[in-house]
Each structure stands twice: as C-alpha cells, then as structure tokens.
C-alpha cells in the first residue's frame, strides 16, 4: 500500500509540474549584490598630453613641394625654414604683372617726354607772342607821338592801336590756353603714376607671396605631425602639422560625453597617476556628441616625464563622495530589474540615481545584500528561472 501511495503522489506532482507555467531560464546570468558604500561621482577619462602653447602649421600658398627642410620630431628655432614650394602659376602671374608695371612705367615716361616737349614749344610760342605784343606796343606809342606832331593821320593811329590790342589779347589767351593744357597733361600723368604705384604694390604683394612659398617656423619648439613629402601638392588651408613649445608647460585634453556638460565646472579635481589636476576650461563646441575639456596641474607642475601626444588615464570628480547603496553598472540595471528570490528572478520596480565610474546609485526599492541581475535579460517577463 505504501508503494502505491508514493507512486500516486509522484504522479500527482508530475501532473502539477506539467500544468504549471514554464519559466524562461537565464543561461548565463550575471548577478551582483547591492552594497552599502561611498558613491564616487566621477568620470573615467582617457586624456592626451598637449603643450599649453602650440601653433598649427597651415599652408598659406598653393604649390608643389620642392624641398623639405625639417622633419617630424625636430626641434626648430623661430624663423627656421621648414619647406619650400614651387608654383608655376604664381611665377607666370609674377612675370605678367612685372611686364604690366614695366609697360605702364614706359607709358608714363613717354607722357613725361611729350609734356616736356610741349612745354618747350609753348615757351617758344609764348616768347614770340610776348615779342609781338611788345613790338605792337612800341609801334602804337611811336604812331601816337607822330599823330600828336601831325605827321600821321588819325586812321594810322587807330590801326596801330588795334594791332596793339590784338597782340595783347593773343598773349593773354595763349597764357590761359597753355596753362590749361599743361594742367591737363600733368593731371593725366599723375593719374598714370598713381596707377603705376597700384600695380607696383600688387607686384610687391606677389613677391611677398613668392617669399611665403618657403614656410618658416613661427615659434621655436618641436615639430609634430609634420609628414610633408617632396612632390606633394599643397593647397591654402591644408593642415601640415604643428609646433609644440614644451617649455610653456603641459596640459591634458579629454573628450567628455555631452550628457555631463551641465555638470562640468572650472576647478573640479581630477586624479591620475601623474598627480592631481584641475578642470581649467570646457570648450563649448559639441562634436560627435562630445565636448572637450582642458585640465592643468596647479602652478604648472606637470611631471617632466610627460611628452606631447602621450595618453593618460584619469578620473574627474564631479561632486563630493556620498554614502549610498551601490550596484555595478550593467545593461540589466534599469528602473525595472530582476532580483533573486530562491531559484527565480522576480522583476521589481526600483528608483535609481546617478551613474558614474561603473557604479549606479540605488535610491529605493532594494536593500543591501539583494542579488540583482545586471546582465541583459533574455525576455521581458515578470519572472525568470536560474539554471
């Protein structure tokens, strides 16, 4: 009888198990316990070392690289030649402008020669008119004396007077006409001279542009990212490298998710293997969902072992540490997560706070010691089974 009873109980249990709903099994669950600790509101960043003072080398002129006079990593002095370009277009334009200047200067010289010849001829003409006027005046005076003595008729005196007035009028008119002609010629020559001066200034600009075909170092420092090769084509604005001045000091540059932009404040402390730093500046431009921050050592006490371009791991503290219940960060740590209850995982609604440095702050809904599924659940269900 006992055997039959045990068999009946087993059959009933089997039937009950078959009728019960089957739970989805989490194949490889990642569980973590809720722990009481200090929430460190900080960001883990990877920054790079950059000098406080650096100058970008951008091409100012277009051309083909004729010679490379410095190499990446070299230390150069201010004014040291870096590379030289060759620009056939600029050489052709320079020759064309030089020819234009020479032609215009020749035109001005021709005009000045013509003006000199015209002035000489005008002086001769004026001298002749002055002589004619003087002769007419003398003749009029002689005729007046003879008329007074009764030796000539009044008609002859009138004729001499008319000749004198005509000579005087011709001399006055000639002076006005010759002065106007000389002024007009001089004005034309002055305008041509100003045009020549403008062409000469343009030519000087072109010559200075040719001088810029040989790029020189704007400051003393170390060349970085300078990979120019002979024969390469360069256009204005091309980024060719930069010159770093390590003597000016070092800083760290890091990219931070734009989510944290409202919480970034100058003076926040960051810690790294090279010491403590402070957030000096946040660049407001957002690129690719990131903002750039500049961190500097107090009083420029950067370690001497750091080199430009070197990567440094650091933690930026956004606020002071506070006591809290903590959970490790994971895809399953959401406002509705799974808590272990025996051999099952039961979903529970919780309130989570800040997330930083791989930790999540638990505000309510969990107690210290609770085991939580931090990995991604396989399905969206109220309960899950553990393997």
| Cα 280 to Cα 170: distance, rounded to the nearest angstrom | 88
Residues 101 and 183 in one domain: yes
Average of per-residue pLDDT across 300-306: 73
**Lowest mean pLDDT, pick from 70-84, 212-226, 253-267:** 212-226
Asked whether the predicted pLDDT for residue 12 surpasses 50, the reply is: no
What pTM was computed for the model?
0.50
Asked whether the predicted pLDDT for residue 100 surpasses 70, the reply is: yes
* Res 92: pLDDT: 67
**In total, how many domains does the chain have?**
4
Inside any domain, residue 222: yes
Average of per-residue pLDDT across 204-217: 70
Query: Final residue of a domain: which of 300, 317, 334?
Result: 317
Q: Two tokens at 280?
A: 């000096």
Residues 283 and 330 in one domain: no
Residues 105 and 193 in one domain: yes
pLDDT bracket for residue 347 (50, 70, 90): very high
Average of per-residue pLDDT across 358-373: 89
Inside any domain, residue 15: no
| Cα 96 to Cα 39: distance, rounded to the nearest angstrom | 74
126: number of Cβ within 10 Å: 14
Residues 117 and 204 in one domain: yes
| Cα 120 to Cα 311: distance, rounded to the nearest angstrom | 83
For residue range 281-298, list pLDDT tens digits in order. 888 788 888 999 998 888
CATH number at residue 371: 2.40.420.20
Query: Final residue of a domain: which of 317, 337, 363?
Result: 317
Choice between 179 and 267, residue whose per-residue pLDDT is larger: 267
109: number of Cβ within 10 Å: 11
* Res 19: pLDDT: 41
Asked whether the predicted pLDDT for residue 128 surpasses 80, the reply is: yes
pLDDT bracket for residue 14 (50, 70, 90): very low
Average of per-residue pLDDT across 345-355: 89
* Res 207: pLDDT: 65
| Cα 26 to Cα 175: distance, rounded to the nearest angstrom | 117
* Res 169: pLDDT: 85
Choice between 160 and 266, residue whose per-residue pLDDT is larger: 266
Residues 141 and 288 in one domain: no
Inside any domain, residue 281: yes
* Res 210: pLDDT: 65
Average of per-residue pLDDT across 338-354: 90
Average pLDDT, the chain: 81
Inside any domain, residue 17: no
pLDDT-above-70 percentage for the chain: 90
pLDDT bracket for residue 250 (50, 70, 90): confident
Please list the alpha-helical segments (H only) found in the chain.
Answer: 2-19, 88-149, 154-211
Inside any domain, residue 13: no
* Res 65: pLDDT: 82
Residues 156 and 196 in one domain: yes
Residues 76 and 96 in one domain: no
Q: Two tokens at 195?
A: 């045009």
Choice between 204 and 255, residue whose per-residue pLDDT is larger: 255
| Cα 230 to Cα 299: distance, rounded to the nearest angstrom | 43
Residues 192 and 298 in one domain: no
Using left for φ > 0, alpha for ψ between -120 and 50, and beta otherwise, residue 225 falls in left
| Cα 263 to Cα 347: distance, rounded to the nearest angstrom | 33
Residues 155 and 171 in one domain: yes
Residues 330 and 301 in one domain: no
Using alpha carbons, select from 386, 387, 330, 341 the residue that is nearest to residue 367: 341
Inside any domain, residue 5: no
Average of per-residue pLDDT across 179-207: 77
Q: Two tokens at 234?
A: 């360069």
* Res 163: pLDDT: 85
Inside any domain, residue 8: no
Structural domain including 76 reads 60-82+213-241
Residues 190 and 338 in one domain: no
Asked whether the predicted pLDDT for residue 6 surpasses 50, the reply is: yes
Residues 179 and 274 in one domain: no
What's the alpha-carbon Rg for the chain, to the nearest Å?
Answer: 49
* Res 13: pLDDT: 47
Inside any domain, residue 346: yes
List phi, psi (to 5°) of 131.
-65, -40
| Cα 52 to Cα 73: distance, rounded to the nearest angstrom | 18
């Amino acid at each position: 009888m006992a055997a039959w009873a045990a068999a009946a109980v087993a059959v009933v249990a089997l039937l009950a198990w078959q009728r019960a709903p089957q739970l989805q099994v989490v194949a490889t669950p990642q569980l973590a316990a809720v722990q009481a600790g200090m929430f460190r509101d900080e960001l883990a960043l990877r920054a790079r070392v950059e000098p406080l003072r650096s100058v970008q080398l951008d091409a100012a002129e277009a051309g083909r690289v004729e010679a490379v006079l410095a190499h990446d990593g070299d230390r150069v002095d201010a004014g040291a030649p870096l590379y030289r370009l060759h620009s056939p277009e600029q050489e052709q334009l320079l020759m064309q402008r030089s020819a234009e200047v020479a032609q215009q200067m020749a035109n001005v010289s021709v005009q000045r020669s013509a003006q000199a010849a015209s002035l000489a001829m005008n002086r001769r003409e004026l001298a002749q008119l002055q002589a004619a006027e003087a002769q007419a005046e003398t003749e009029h005076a002689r005729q007046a004396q003879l008329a007074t003595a009764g030796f000539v008729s009044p008609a002859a005196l009138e004729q001499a007077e008319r000749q004198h007035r005509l000579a005087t009028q011709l001399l006055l008119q000639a002076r006005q006409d010759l002065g106007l002609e000389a002024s007009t010629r001089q004005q034309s020559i002055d305008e041509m001279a100003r045009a020549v001066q403008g062409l000469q200034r343009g030519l000087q600009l072109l010559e200075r542009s040719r001088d810029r075909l040989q790029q020189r170092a704007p400051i003393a420092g170390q060349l970085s990212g300078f990979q120019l090769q002979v024969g390469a084509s360069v256009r204005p604005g091309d980024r060719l490298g930069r010159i770093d001045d390590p003597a000016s000091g070092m800083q760290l540059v890091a990219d931070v998710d734009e989510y944290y932009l409202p919480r970034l404040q100058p003076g926040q402390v960051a810690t790294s293997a090279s010491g403590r730093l402070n957030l000096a500046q946040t660049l407001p431009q957002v690129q690719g969902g990131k903002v750039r921050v500049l961190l500097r050592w107090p009083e420029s006490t950067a370690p001497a072992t750091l080199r430009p371009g070197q990567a440094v791991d650091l933690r930026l503290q956004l606020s002071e540490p506070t006591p809290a219940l903590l959970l490790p960060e994971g895809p399953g740590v959401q406002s509705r997560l799974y808590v272990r209850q025996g051999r099952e995982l039961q979903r529970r609604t919780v309130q989570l706070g800040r997330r930083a440095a791989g930790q999540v702050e638990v505000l309510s809904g969990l107690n210290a010691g609770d085991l939580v599924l931090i990995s991604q659940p396989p399905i969206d269900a109220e309960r899950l089974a553990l393997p």
